[in-house]
Amino acid sequence: MRFLSKLLYGAGYVCASGCCLIGYIWCLYILSGVLHIWGTILAVLFIPATISLTPWYEGFHNGNWLLLAMVYGGLIVGLILTALSGMIAGDA
Query: pLDDT of 39-89, one tens digit each?
Result: 889 889 999 999 999 999 999 999 999 999 999 999 999 999 999 998 988
User: Which structural domain, as residue segments, surrounds residue 18?
Assistant: 14-89
The span from the CA of 54 to the CA of 5, in Å, is 34
| Domain count of the fold of the chain | 1
- Structural domain contains residue 38: yes
Q: With respect to residue 8, please indicate whether it lies within any of the assigned structural domains.
A: no
The answer to whether residues 16 and 74 touch, using CB atoms and an 8 Å cutoff, is yes
**6 belongs to a structural domain:** no
pTM, two decimals, is 0.84
Amino acid making up residue 74? G
Residue-wise DSSP of 22-88: HHHHHHHHHHHHHHHHHHHHHHHHTHHHHHHHHHHHHHHHH---HHHHHHHHHHHHHHHHHHHHHHH
Confirm whether 5 is domain-assigned.
no
